[in-house]
Amino acid sequence: MNPAGEIRYIDFHSHHRGGAKDTITIMNLLAGEDIPADFPENTLFSAGIHPWQLTEENAHQLQTELILTAGHHHVVLIGEAGFDRLKGPDLKLQYSLFLFQANIAREMNKPMVIHCVRGWEELRRAHREVKPERPWVIHGYRGNDKLAASLAGDGFWFSLGAKGITEEILKVISHDRILLETDESAESIADVYSFFAATAGYDEETAAILIRNNFTSLFNYGL
């Protein structure tokens, strides 16, 4: 990928098409979704089996479809993969398919983007079992600061939207393992950056440099 224009913002997890010349957008795809033939400049992708789409009946098909998509050179993350106790199938099936995706990520040397709702025990057990060499990034984190500190101690990274950016969270996790996202919201990534900067006590230029450096560190990819 050769970014068009000077990159100021990185939207780490989005369900919307990007296209702004000053923004890299990582657009999320579910297993079975094709990479658009005409995707905008500065667009990368994550691809994974989301627990909401998973059933006993479609598990094998989704595995095959993910393998076909994950090797595309614009797919830089596996996921969103994870655990959901409120909206998902049996946890044994979720765990099995999560390990499948974690092994793909390891074989392809790609980080993972994680969806987790009340499945922290399962996520941490998988992390201990897999011992990933590339980071797992929890997206959309809105839990408490005690859990965040514990997850950070285990080596997890965090991708935060505006609703997850609080003074309490920013006090307990390392700022060099933070990325920012819009997810499904209508907020612009510029607004998320501004809120992060104000909450963390940075000027906006410092915040932009920080997130840019975190992105390049995660992917070992220079901009």
CATH code of 107's domain = 3.20.20.140
What's the rounded Cα separation, in Å, for the pair 27 and 6?
Answer: 19
Residue range(s) defining the domain that contains residue 106: 48-219
Q: What pLDDT is recorded for position 220? A: 83
DSSP 82-126: EEESSSSS-HHHHHHHHHHHHHHHHHHT--EEEEEES-HHHHHHH
Triad 130, 128, 10: Cα angle to 5°: 70
Q: What pLDDT is recorded for position 222? A: 66
Residue 154 lies in a domain: yes
Q: What pLDDT is recorded for position 36? A: 86
Q: What pLDDT is recorded for position 125? A: 98
Distance set, CA 143 to CA 6, 62, 183 (Å): 34, 29, 17
Give the number of residues written for the chain.
223
Q: What pLDDT is recorded for position 85? A: 95
Q: What pLDDT is recorded for position 3? A: 67
Residue 12 lies in a domain: no
Total tally of structural domains belonging to the chain? 1
Whether 20 and 42 have beta carbons less than 8 Å apart is answered as: yes
Residue 43 lies in a domain: no
**Residue 154: closest CA among 181, 116, 126:** 126
Residue 36 lies in a domain: no
At position 136, the amino acid (one-letter code) is W
Residue 4 lies in a domain: no
Main-chain dihedrals φ then ψ at residue 197, nearest 5 degrees: -60, -45
What's the rounded Cα separation, in Å, for the pair 6 and 90?
Answer: 45
Q: What pLDDT is recorded for position 181? A: 98
Main-chain dihedrals φ then ψ at residue 74, nearest 5 degrees: -95, -5
Residue 94 lies in a domain: yes
Q: What is the pTM of this model?
A: 0.95
pLDDT along the chain (223 residues), means of 10: 78 91 95 89 95 96 96 94 95 98 97 97 98 97 96 98 97 98 94 98 98 95 67
